[in-house]
Structure 1
Amino acid sequence: MIVPSSLFASGTESWRGDGRTDEFDSVATASRALADGGVTAVTGAFGFDPSGTAALIAPERFARGTRSGASRPLPAVVSSALTPSDVHTDRIRRVLAAIDEGVVDKAVLARTLEMTFDGPLDPADVFARFLPGPDAATTTAFAVPLDPAPGRADHWLIGASPELLIAKTGRTVTCHPFAGTTPRGVDAESDRRAVAALRASDKDLREHAFVVEQIVDVLAPLCRELDVPDRPQIESTPAVWHLATPIRGVLTDESITALDLAALTSPTPAVCGTPRAAAARLIDEVEGSRDFYAGAVGWCDAAGDGRWMVSIRCLELDAAGTGVTTWAGGGIVAGSDPAAEVAETEAKFRTVLGALGVDPADLTDRSRPAPAPTST
């Protein structure tokens, strides 16, 4: 029996990979297989470090699919552990000190939430709970197996990312970076005030500019045309408002693939920081290893066309189907307020918690310290 090897869905379309003819634990090996013509498509995910661990699959078949909603009730959460707000606050202060010292201009810090359920979750059913509505123009739901990566047998990465990292069709390349965030209001008037404050926020506009500048730096040498709006627009998810900038370019060399472009542009300052290498080192020191969170998830076909999203608003489901790990982060720049940054992470957790039907008030063991970070 052919089993799903990947699932994706936007507000109006869906794609499905079935079976697998090969698998790859690095972007480089998958890219070579595409270049050699040995595979017709590659789907899956690669990690926060695009030169590191990947979980990429060559499906037997990758084509448009059909959308179907979730039909079964989910098990209940029996235990949970969230990076405590005081631990996250201390991390933010360490990053602010590094900014003052000129080590970085921006770094993105995330909190981790681990949950255990009293019964197994089905990956396809969880994916269905992340399906975006037809008005969610920028959101793509995904479910991809992580077993090509060492130590990830039977694990899945599932979520609904609002952020397009890169898409390529022929010579045309598009990006839709997000950076700069505020929680949605509780009513229409507070929502309007939230949008107005975000549009006028010097901190958020600076944070967003770092992202756009880096993407332009990567794409400009590869494009004969590049269209970049002067100011960001406002995009929404059910939980937060974002600053976003749609970028469109025309490639000089059509042979560069969507997978190659995704690896070149990832991680963006929206999930890492700037300068990129210094921010990544600081995140590893302060937060610890990220693995697949804030990497990229998507697909690339034999023609080099494809679509890759930033792997945020997502979860990793363990082999037993009962353990879930999820993350929420925010960009730290000069002037960031630690209390506001903690609140931003709590707003971003709502996407996963809402999909799983979990009330934040029901989470237990919230004060357990996070694991000590490790350096690599």
Structure 2
Amino acid sequence: MNHTDATAPGAAEPRLVVRTFPVDETEPLIPRTDPRNPLVWLRRGEGIVGLGEVLRIESNGRTRVEDAAAAWTELASRAEVDDRVGLPGTGLVAFGAFAFADDSAATSTLIVPELVLGRRDGRAWVTRIGLATGDPEATAGAGVVPDEAVIPEPAPKRKVPRVTFAPGSVPPAAYESAVAEAVRRIDAGDLEKVVLARQLVGRLDEEDGLRATISRLAEDYPDTWVFAVDGLIGASPETLVRVDHGQVSARVLAGTASRGAGEASDRERALTLASSPKDLAEHALAVASAVKRLAPHTARLDASPEPFTLQLPNLWHLATDLKGTLGDGSSSLDLVRAVHPTAAVAGTPRRVAIATLAELEGFDRGRYAGPVGWIDGDGDGEWAIALRCAQVDGDGTVTAYAGCGIVHDSVPADELAETDMKFRPIVEAFGG
């Protein structure tokens, strides 16, 4: 589909016309998405999906987030918005995914869809977004389509495609060696923690397999942020930052244990995780990192008094929720820039950890562990860390990612086993 690149040099400044109106229902959301280019942001069946593309904002390098934020603010300031619903995700929105590293070859992007279908708190809506024609009379009322027939019919359910994954550039033995080297550097005092990831690579042949895969993620992991943006798909349990009318929140995850085989075993593993000195120390570093980065932008910031155990279908996490009030008018992307990358996906100290993981991992993370989510015309939005995810390229290559926080008492074989646990959601979503 043709689209406008808002970052193209010499391009005329686009002006958007946006109309949001209530409808009786938009369910089911995922089966109405574009199978080749899905745009999805859902949790517990609520959220938004996008179809088509009006324009995109692309950025790269160290200033990729601030450049995108500045371009978005300028674009939003020119938009003509008629929002008759007024919920998070209505009005002008863009779906976004950003590269993890400053020197990544992956492009960071904000995508403005032509059509947004949403539901939240029992209410449903449709948003139409188009480029203004330049003729005020022709533009007036554009995009107002009160007929519910504009909602695409849901596609019939298809089988989840079967993708066979194999180790990427770092085989298991090499990953264990990298963990051992990281522990050596930590014990030498070079750093306190580093997060090391590995890849699995497969191939997708079915044209519309992504829709079935996303449905599987949403069904199996309803309490996560299920996302699809520019070929990046996944189900993240970690909220990087959420901004809604001056309120800010985040969820920090660090520390992991597998689920038990039965109720008693499962409860025991959760209790063991909650009292594990290694996991508690790793978690404390991640929380301190998030608080340090968010606090300057808030008038108040509160954290859960103690980490709590977060139950997912395949594992337990230690979690801490942060909630506060903005103090400086920051947008959600301003806060994304401030907190990314967190200690939960990079390490501590940040600068040393990023250099260490880049050296020991031996591959470009792309958008894995980068910010993924959406932003609206007021700067509010919801952003997660792209975890439990895979990047699907145009040639059908599927690259899945998983990583672990390495601290001084990490055991290489245990960390490798933890990555296998973290691969499960995305591997199973592709029929594995």
Which TM-score bucket, shorter chain as reference? 0.7 to 0.9
Q: Which residue of 2 aligns with 1:28?
A: 66
Q: Which residue of 1 aligns with 2:194?
A: 107
Greater Rg by CA: 2
The one-letter code of the counterpart of 2:403 is G
Q: Which residue of 1 aligns with 2:6?
A: none
Q: Which residue of 2 aligns with 1:271?
A: 345
Q: Write out aligned runs for 1:1-376 (5 A).
A: 6-26=39-59, 27-36=65-74, 37-38=77-78, 40-49=92-101, 53-64=107-118, 71-77=157-163, 80-82=166-168, 83-117=170-204, 119-132=206-219, 136-137=222-223, 139-145=224-230, 156-254=231-329, 256-288=330-362, 289-321=364-396, 323-358=397-432
Shift of 1:93: 0.9
Question: 5+ unaligned residues in a row in structure 1: which ranges?
Answer: 146-155, 359-376
TM-score by length of structure 2 reads: 0.75
Q: Is the 8 A contact 1:132 1:141 kept in 2?
A: no
Q: Is the 8 A contact 1:129 1:355 kept in 2?
A: yes
Shift of 1:229: 2.0
The one-letter code of the counterpart of 2:68 is A
Task: Give percent identity, aligned residues only.
Answer: 37
Q: Which has the higher contact order (CA 8 A, sep 6+)?
A: 1
Quick one: distance in 2 between partners of 1:143 and 1:125? 12
Quick one: distance in 1 between partners of 2:103 and 2:57? 13
The one-letter code of the counterpart of 1:71 is K
TM-score by length of structure 1 reads: 0.85
Q: Which residue of 2 aligns with 1:371?
A: none
The one-letter code of the counterpart of 2:45 is T
Quick one: distance in 1 between partners of 2:43 and 2:366? 25
Shift of 1:18: 2.9
Matched position secondary structure for 1:324: strand
Shift of 1:119: 4.1
- Note closer, same or farther for the CA distance 1:141–1:217 as it changes in structure 2 (3 Å cut): same
Quick one: distance in 2 between partners of 1:87 and 1:203? 23
The one-letter code of the counterpart of 2:167 is A
Count of matched residue positions in the alignment of Structure 1 and Structure 2: 344
Quick one: distance in 2 between partners of 1:233 and 1:169? 24
Question: 5+ unaligned residues in a row in structure 2: which ranges?
Answer: 3-33, 60-64, 80-91, 125-152
Shift of 1:294: 0.5
Quick one: distance in 2 between partners of 1:51 and 1:81? 24
- 1:125-166 C-alpha deviation (Å, 9 max, x unpaired): 322221146x844x1101111xxxxxxxxxx01111111110
- C-alpha RMSD of matched pairs (Å): 2.3
- Note closer, same or farther for the CA distance 1:68–1:49 as it changes in structure 2 (3 Å cut): farther
Q: Is the 8 A contact 1:132 1:160 kept in 2?
A: no
Matched position secondary structure for 2:218: coil
- 1:239-290 C-alpha deviation (Å, 9 max, x unpaired): 1100000100101123x11112112111111111011111011011010321
